[in-house]
Structure 1
């Protein structure tokens, strides 16, 4: 079954809150160009993750609209991976213009790119592998978890 809008939203929140949070916690100590202390770096990284989640919900609305023009109403798997580029560009723009609340200092490009790519690839790989095994009916329920 094709993921429904509700399923896509639920899945994005769930995966970023679990896999994304775990990967963020693991990668922060080794991030290049991290700001100040380790505590500040964790705060900045988790605020960035929260911003990615919030902006990602808006992206899902746009993706849902765009999918209505496809005959099968779904993205090929490669399109799901390539969406990392526009989402990352928008997040970088939001961070650099100060539109992400709580992230006061300028975030270095190396910190942002490392964290964004690790979290994005981690969640994409999880969705295309373990998620299909751990929740066999997930796809059959249109991606809904609840």
Structure 2
């Protein structure tokens, strides 16, 4: 079954709220370029994660529109990994421009890209592997978690 738009949104939010939160907790203390007290580092890390989730929901609508031109109405698995480039670039530019005002100052590029890439790969790996074990019927319900 091809994941539906609602299924992809639910899966994205669920994975960011589980895998993303755990990876953020582990990686924030060692991110390059972040300075200041640990509480400030975690605040920035989790705000960036929240921005990824919010922006990602918007991306899902764009991806859904683009998939309508494909015969199978779905991306190949590798496209799901490669989409980190446009999503990451847009979020990075929005942070740098100050368009996302709740994250001030914007994290250094090294911290942002390290965190973004590590979380993206972890979420992608879980979605394409272990996610299918506890949620056996997940793919048959169009990717919906609930």
Specify the TM-score bucket, using the shorter chain as the normaliser: over 0.9
What's the CA shift string for 1:84-106, capped at 9, x where partnerless? Answer: 00000001001101122321113
Matched residue, 2:136: 136
Aligned residues: 146
Q: Deviations over 1:29-67 (max 9, x none)?
A: 000001311111100010000000000000000000000
| Cα distance in 2 for residues equivalent to 1:139 and 1:108 | 38
TM-score (structure 2 length as normaliser): 0.98
RMSD: 0.8
Extract unaligned runs of 5+ from structure 1. none
Moved more, 132-141 or 79-88: 132-141
Partners of 2:35 and 2:92 lie apart in 1 by 16
4+ residue segments displaced more than 6 Å:
none
Question: 2:102 aligned with 1:95, yes or no?
Answer: no
